[in-house]
Structure 1
Amino acid sequence: MAINHECIEACQRCATACEQCLNAMIGMDSDNNCPHCCRECIDICLLCAQAMARESRFSDAICKLCADVCDWCAQQCGAHDHDHCQQCAEACRHCAESCRAMAA
């Protein structure tokens, strides 16, 4: 697997958006898994970017898992009207699409 800088950047943007969403949600009530999904998404996105940067033999599997976690987080955050949640959901959708293409 060659290094895909666009996918690495999508993972980094997603982790940043999730971090901002998580921070904004501190102390707020949520009727779903936001902001908990953000924590999971941050971790897998950063791991995914690192794995791709070092051309890990496990990049495909990590990209697949990252896409699945991003899909979940996009669904959870996308259900909220907050700007930070909507921005997070959009970054998650883009990252999932990019990672899914890498894992194919």
Structure 2
Amino acid sequence: MSTHDQCIEACQRCAIACERCLNAMIGRSSDNDCPTCCRECIDICLLCAQATARGSRFSSAICGLCADACEWCATQCEAHDHEHCQKCAEACRACVETCRSMAA
């Protein structure tokens, strides 16, 4: 699988994990930026997957921004014991890794 395809898949998996985390956090209180970070992460991950798929001239910059957003989200979500937050943080960390390699 190409690096581009790995990035697209990691971004899609991350967006889905964030969507699930965001949904599970509805009505729950949070002492940090979860679930706000999930909303941001979903949008940038989907944009990153789209830009990478079409070979956008801006995909490297978008991948860098996506990695930053996912890093923030992972830090916020992994601070919670909820299973959905832990799965979200795991998907975010995987996305950070692939997006950083694309941004370099």
Taking structure 1 as the reference length, the TM-score comes to 0.97
1:7-46 pair list within 5 angstroms: 7-46=7-46
Deviation at 1:3, TM superposition (A): 7.0
**Correspondence for 1:64:** 64
For structure 2, the residue ranges without an aligned partner over 5 or more in a row are none
Aligned-pair RMSD on alpha carbons? 1.1
Deviation at 1:70, TM superposition (A): 0.1
Fraction of identical pairs, as percent: 76
Q: Distance in 2 between matches of 1:46 and 1:17?
A: 12
Contact 1:48 1:66 in 2 (8 A): yes
Q: Distance in 2 between matches of 1:63 and 1:94?
A: 13
Q: Distance in 2 between matches of 1:67 and 1:74?
A: 10
Are 1:87 and 2:69 counterparts?
A: no
Residue 72 of structure 2 aligns to a residue in which SS?
helix
How many matched pairs? 103
Taking structure 2 as the reference length, the TM-score comes to 0.97
Runs of 4+ aligned structure 1 residues displaced above 6 Å come to none
